[in-house]
Every structure is written in structure tokens, then in C-alpha cells.
Chain A
């Protein structure tokens, strides 16, 4: 992806409509990649850069120290909390929780380095640690869907998601890295797919999702309708119950009258 990618133009416009309160970039690398360069060039404030590779993190930390409102975090983000294997690939941008072998169709000579077991945190856990709300999320690693799936309800405040994806034509790759399943999943979470931008390697790219407000409103409308229907139903039940209650009250009154009459008659008999 070049520095003048279309996705950046989208983001520049979306920044006006949905200002960044805080942005989290997962997989920031050494700080020399396209995303960090973009954020630096556009002077983004309130940025947290997350990187799992300690070697790249050291450089990233120094890069982020130039920006007072940027933070660097050494952390592996994975679908589950706890010890997780981190694979080192010959191409440092492909190091992650995905085995490098599955990317051989993308990078024919991709060499496999070592692997380490790191203490991982889910995306939900990461977002919960922030005292401020995160509304922009960039996931520059694979598989993006697996990471987003671990976010749970914490994605409700997120308005923009950019995820690294593998395009569907590479069937051998982990499906959690594909665009299709990610698109489906995020649509269910009321995100709208806007655009995709391919990298130098045409099999990999970035997909841009934005919070679909109309979908949210539609959902809320449906909920409202259902709620309204429920209310009507309950009202009817209530009316019926009231009528029954009234009926029973009148019956009770008549029975009481009869009981009183019978009591009087009995007393008269006794007197007589």
C-alpha cells in the first residue's frame, strides 16, 4: 500500500465526520510502516501503538516518544487470553499468531523464523484498560476476524475499523484472515464495508469498515416496534384482567348479598 492509497483519502474525510477520540493500531511494527507514517503525517493525536515483537517494539517506542500523545504498548493481541504462540516470519510484517506456512501462497519464499510463547490479551481486555473511549481501530495483522471476534461488546463504541485481510481467491489461507467472513461478521455488528485497498502484494490488502448508523437506527426501530407491540399486547391483557376482576367483584358482591340474606333468614328462624 502506497502512501497515497485511496483508503487514506477515505480516512481523511471520515476524520471530519467522526473525529478521533482515540485510535488503536494493532501490529504497528517498528514504526516505519505505512500506517505509522500516515498517522505521523496527518498529525493524529491520541494514538496507541500495539506491537507484540519486542525487537520491533523497542524501535517503535523510540518513534512514539516524539509524539507526546502517542503511546506504545508491548502486547500480543489474540482471540483468547493467556499463553499464545507467536510465530516469527522471514518477512517481519507477517510475524504473528498465524503460522507463516499458510502465507506461502502470498509469499513464495517466506522463511519461518522461530516461535515464542507470549502472554496474550483479547481485544476486549485491551480496550477495557483504556480510561478513554476508543472509536478508531486499525488491525494491521492477521487474522483480523479472530481478533475482532474477541472484542465482544467493546466494539460498540468503535466507529471506524481498518483490518488487514487476505483476499478470497487464496482458499488455503486461514479463513479468519479472509475478507468475506470479516465482512459478514462486521455487517452483523452494524459496520458497513466501504472500500478495500490492495498492497504491493495483490493478495493482501486493507478493508475499511465504518459504523453503519442507519443499520443501528433500523435495528433500534425494529426493537421499538417490537417493544410497542409488546406494550399493546400487555395493555390488552391488562384490560382483560381488569374486566375479569370487575366481574369477579360483582359476583362476589352478589354472593355476599345472598349470604347476608340467608343469615337474616336463619336468625329469624331461630327467633321464631
Chain B
């Protein structure tokens, strides 16, 4: 039954829990005809300041921590009525004015008794909104700290009082759901118009946008380092269950406590919805299902937690195995690298050795090629011939020629003697070792092929030919007499040969050179 229309309403007091959205309701009314409360004339105090003073004077508890037993109505003494009168005088020029004040919960009876022209708009909202208010509820709170109990008690106490007052004085109150008003203000204005005659301007009523109402969401952190994450949307209360409570009896008890508190809140909310003049059109909050769903959630989270633990164990085990395998692979890789490096080093050494061998072979070839030539040059005949050639260009050389030749001959013989001694000692050492013949020895054919030409060349040299002539003729006294002629003959033949070689056309019918017998150097 609609209460009778009151023609004497001049002010509206909007009362609601701080998280109920009463500020938005006030804004809505202010934008549609209601004037904002002016300060009192003498004291220049706003109604909220007056409430604050009275609450301070009568020592009311803080609104955010108040419990059921704490919400007692204040009965200010008569002396305070003057302050109210002053406020009335200050707002006397306004036809309809009002304000929103959560602290008026302590003064509901006072205002109701004092002024029959007061209409109370009692505002409530879903319990979950409590946790979305960043001023009331911290971003993250721990169920073990008792904060949830405090919030529940506070919300339940405040809204119980609102409900009680509304039921006791239905003619003076309008119990409304703030979200529903914002969703459809027209219904709200109709209700106001039906109750009292106020200059409400409901033209162009627009539905105000309501922010996303995020319900309390509950996350339980899984006891895994890999998946633990504490990211969440800002300014939204996040109920985090400490990991150490998961899977314990205490956890279940704590969780059940949270569910109990949720059920109590839901019960009060249901009663508000059942009584309100403008209830929310949303689905009703389940009460007992919360406990059941919570238990299912807890059981599910326990199962998930166990499952995650098993997966984690398996993952850790797998990780260990892989790590071991990786280590083995690394070791193998290192070994392979080492082997590769060794192979490379051996390859390089091999190359170097090959190069050395080639070089040595070349040297040996060169050596053997020129060895014969060298041996030839070491022969007495060549040496004597060299001395002859060297000393024939000067008179002193010619005069000392015999002495030089004798000295060279003595030197040659002395060297021969030493070589023989060295060779005999080497032979003795070799017999002791009795190693096989060197595999790197040059082929005889290669030696002869390389050195024959060199030998031939040397034998064509004047020094050698003169030396041969000396050695040949020095064996006998007749030879000594023939020696100068023999020497001169060799010189002439040498020159002719050289001319022939330079210009073959001049000596096309030359005789073949005499065959010379190689005199043994060892004589």
C-alpha cells in the first residue's frame, strides 16, 4: 500500500553505506530539481558538518568499522536544536533541498522526530560493491587477517539499520537500489512524486552509465613458482588465499568462514530487495549456494592443486632428466670439439709435415742434384783448376802458383784422411742401431738423373779441365814436361767451345771434343 502523499516535504536526506553509491543518487537528484544544502546562516555549517559535530560529541564509532551493536541512535540535547534551526534558516529560500550523508545513520530518529518535512532516501547496493570501493577496501586483503569479517559486520550492521528504519517508517522512507536508480531514474522520480510534492524536474531523464560492477572475485594462488601470478585489474579487491593454507583443514575452515559471511550479507541483501520500493532487477544473490559453490570451489581447487602438484613434480623430474641429457650432450659436444680440434691440429701438423717432407725431398733432390756437383767440385782436379784460374790473372799469382797448388794438394789429402775416419765411426754406430734403411731415401734413378747434368756442366768448366790436366800429368816426370802444353791446349779448347756455344754458325764442322777420362779423386 502506497503511503499518503506528504505535502510538507522540503528536504531529503540520502543515507546509505559509504559503498552504496549514495553520492550518485545525490547527483541525480541535484540535477533534477533538488537544491544543494546551503550552510547555516549564523554558524555557516553544512549539514554534514553538523552531523560530524554531533557524532563527535556523542562519540559514535567510525562508519567503516561500526558493528551492529555500535549503531545506536543519538538523541541530542535540546541545545543542539538551535543548530538545526540555523540550518533551516540558511536554506529557507529553497523549496526542495537535500544532501547525502552516510553518518546520518546515527541521527535517523532524530531527524525524523525533529522535522516532519524530511524524506529519507535510503540507498543500498550489492554486498560485492563493498570490496570495489578502494577507499574502504584495500586492493588485496587476506582472509586470515579478519578484514572480511569486519567488512561483513560493518555492511550487515549498517544495512540492517537501514532496513529496520525503512520498515518502521515506510511513509517517510524510500528504500532504493542505487544501480537500479541509475539504470532507470524515471521509476525513482515516479516514486518520489507519488510520495511528496516536490519540484522535481524529470524532463529528459537519461540513464546514467553505470561502471562495470565487478563482483568480488576470488583467486586461489597455486603453490607453483612457475604459474604464480598476482596481476589483477586495478582498484578491484582481490581475495588471495595464501598458498600455505591450500589443502589444509584450516583453509577449509577459513574458506567456510568467508562463505558464511557471504551468506549473511546475501540474506540482508535479500531482505532489502524484498522490501525496497526500488529494488534491483538483477537476479537474486544465492545464499546457500554460496556455501555449496564455495565448497565445490575449495574441493575443486584442492583437486586442481593436487593435480598441479603432480604435474609440477612430473615437470621438475622431466626438467632434471632433460638437464642431465643436456649436460651429457654438452659433454659430448665438448668431447667432439676437442676431438675436432685434435684432428685439426693433427691435420695441420700433417700438412706441415707433408710440406716439410716435400721441402726436404726438394732439398734432398737439390742436394743430390748438386751433391754430385759438389762432390765434383771437392775433387782435387777441380780445386787445382780453380786455383789456376784464380791466380792466373796476376804476376804474383802466377809466380806463387806452384806453392798454392802444393798447399791445396796437401789440404785435399788431409781432408780425405779426416773423412775416412768420420765415415768409419758412423758405420760403427749404424751397425749398433741396425735400423732399416730410411724410407725417405731418394730413388737412385732420380739422383743420377738430377745430378748427371750438373756433373756434366761442371766437367765442362775450365777449372775442372785444367785440374784434370794437372792431375793427369803430375803422375810422371814426362807428364810434368807435357803439363804446360796440356794446360794451354785445354784453355784453347775451352775458348773454342764457348765461342761455338755462343755462335754455332761459325763452327759448324768442328771436331767432337775429346773424351776425357775421369780421374779418380781418391788417388
Q: Which residues of A contact B (CB under 8 A)?
A: 2-4, 29-33, 53, 55-56, 58-59, 62-63, 90-93, 107-111, 200-203
Contact = CB atoms under 8 A, between A and B. Distances in A.
Contacts of B276: 109
B274 A55 contact: no
Interface string B169-180: 000000000000
Nearest to A58: B292
A109 B256 contact: no
A109 B287 contact: no
B273 A55 contact: no
B295 interface: yes
Contacts of A202: 167-168
A107 B259 contact: no
Q: Which 6 A-B pairs have the closest CB atoms?
A: A59-B291, A107-B274, A56-B288, A55-B288, A30-B288, A32-B263
Contact of B288 (A4, A92, A111): A92
A56 B273 contact: no
B274 A91 contact: yes
Interface in B228-272: 256, 259-260, 263-264, 267, 270-271
B509 to A, nearest CB: 142
Contact of B267 (A32, A62, A110): A32
Contacts of B260: 31-32, 63
23 contacts: A30-B287, A30-B291, A31-B260, A32-B264, A56-B287, A58-B288, A58-B291, A58-B292, A62-B256, A62-B291, A91-B271, A92-B288, A107-B274, A107-B275, A108-B274, A108-B277, A109-B275, A109-B279, A110-B274, A200-B163, A201-B167, A202-B168, A203-B167
B289 interface: yes
A3 B270 contact: no
A180 B494 CA distance: 169
A109 B68 contact: no
Contacts of A58: 288, 291-292, 295
A55 B289 contact: yes
A201 B263 contact: no
Contacts of A110: 274
Given A3-B68, A32-B267, A201-B167, A109 B291 contact: no
B270 A91 contact: yes
Given A30-B287, A90-B274, 6 more contacts: A32-B264, A55-B288, A58-B291, A90-B273, A91-B270, A201-B167
A46 B288 CA distance: 24
A63 B275 CA distance: 29
Contact of A108 (B256, B267, B275, B287): B275
A173 B287 CA distance: 26
Contacts of A201: 167, 271, 275
A83 B52 CA distance: 59
A131 B288 CA distance: 31
A2 B156 CA distance: 11
A55 B160 CA distance: 25
Main SS at interface, chain A: loop
A200 to B, nearest CB: 5
A55 B292 contact: yes
Contacts of A203: 167
Contacts of A111: 274, 284
Indicate the member of A30, A33, A56, A90 with the most B CB atoms within 10 Å: A30
Contacts of B142: none
Nearest to B286: A55
A59 B275 contact: no
Most A CB contacts (10 A, CB to CB) among B69, B274, B289, B295 go to B274
Contacts of B292: 55, 58-59
Contacts of B328: none
Nearest to A31: B260
B164 interface: yes
A71 to B, nearest CB: 19
Given A2-B68, A200-B160, A53 B288 contact: yes
A1 to B, nearest CB: 10
Nearest to B294: A59
A21 B163 CA distance: 37
Contacts of A107: 271, 274-275
Contacts of B274: 90-91, 107-111
Contacts of B291: 30, 58-59, 62
A59 B271 contact: no
Contacts of A53: 288
Given A32-B263, A62-B256, A202-B167, A90 B270 contact: yes
B259 A59 contact: yes
A202 B169 CA distance: 10
Residue among B267, B291, B292 with most chain A CB within 10 A: B291
Nearest to A107: B274
Contacts of B289: 55
A203 B271 CA distance: 13
Contacts of A2: 68, 160
A93 B274 CA distance: 12
A53 B277 CA distance: 29
B270 to A, nearest CB: 5
A208 to B, nearest CB: 21
A141 to B, nearest CB: 15
A231 to B, nearest CB: 59
Given A92-B267, A92-B287, A200 B273 contact: no
A21 B481 CA distance: 169
A200 B162 CA distance: 10
A172 B298 CA distance: 45
Contacts of A55: 288-289, 292
A109 B256 CA distance: 30
Contacts of B164: 200
A31 B263 CA distance: 10
Given A30-B287, A32-B263, A56-B287, A92 B270 contact: yes
A35 to B, nearest CB: 13
B187 to A, nearest CB: 13
Nearest to B168: A202
Nearest to B262: A32
